[in-house]
Structure 1
């Protein structure tokens, strides 16, 4: 499976994620992880700058808007991407799945 970056201004500026989760690094940075309905592959966002839990939307450091579709969950492609990049984007920090904490009623927390 290939990994690729969407640079700022490249690719879709609105991303719909299915089977999504939100991960937090120890220093506090949050990232969306899920299956993109736009590119049909696993995706990890840049740092989340704004999160509207009620509307299940957010905006990230790249300027992209994310729409969280359906219930939170896990996706094999998204986990593959996350497992390849989390150490580099988080500087080796441990992370926690904070989906349930930030968007209640969606899933239980996980820790790495």
Structure 2
């Protein structure tokens, strides 16, 4: 599905969050609301949701009355108790516009900052870490940045960063390989 005048609503509960897309469905000519986003590819502006649907974000984010109506019909006009509702459209737009290197995804959570800090350490700086966090990685099944919103995702990322760090430190010194290795 292709969404115009799209928004990204982020539901935050403690140190976890999930994003839903809202916008004008260009094919059906109506407001649309997605299930939670599970993966996002900024190079194609395509989000995969929990239901398995693919949403292509068309042009810049915007506001659509019909899409807001669908959002409020699903979630109500007030934020559910215990949640915070944030607008994450600018974050997605920065990724799409290729500005990932200007801002790493830090939401203030200590656990999130630990993972982002580990990525900066492993890759030698914020720019390289941002490129890794925003790139699609088939081994992880998503872009690393999309896994930052859950405790399980952060643990998986920290383990992967540790594996990369250990693999780099165990790499043999430059030169010919020993001939007796099987």
- Structure number with the bigger relative contact order (C-alpha 8 A, sep ≥ 6) is 1
For 2:36, the equivalent position in structure 1 comes to 47
- Which protein is richer in helix relative to its size? 2
For 2:2, the equivalent position in structure 1 comes to 16
The normalised TM-score by structure 1 is 0.72
- Aligned-residue RMSD, C-alpha: 2.0
Q: How do 1:1-112 residues align onto structure 2 when only pairs under 5 Å count?
A: 15-27=1-13, 28-87=17-76, 91-92=80-81, 93-104=83-94
Residue 54 of structure 1: how far off its partner (Å): 3.1
- Which protein is richer in strand relative to its size? 1
Distance 1:31 1:37 in 2: 18
Kindly tell me the number of residue pairs found equivalent between the two proteins.
90
List alignment gaps of at least 5 residues for structure 2: 97-182
Superposition misfits of 4+ residues, deviation over 2 angstroms:
90-94
Distance 2:94 2:69 in 1: 25
1:30-80 residue CA offsets vs partner (Å, 9 max, x unmatched): 101000012111111001000112321110011101111111100010011
Distance 1:17 1:37 in 2: 6
When Rg is computed on C-alpha atoms for both structures, the one with the higher figure is 2
List alignment gaps of at least 5 residues for structure 1: 1-14, 107-112
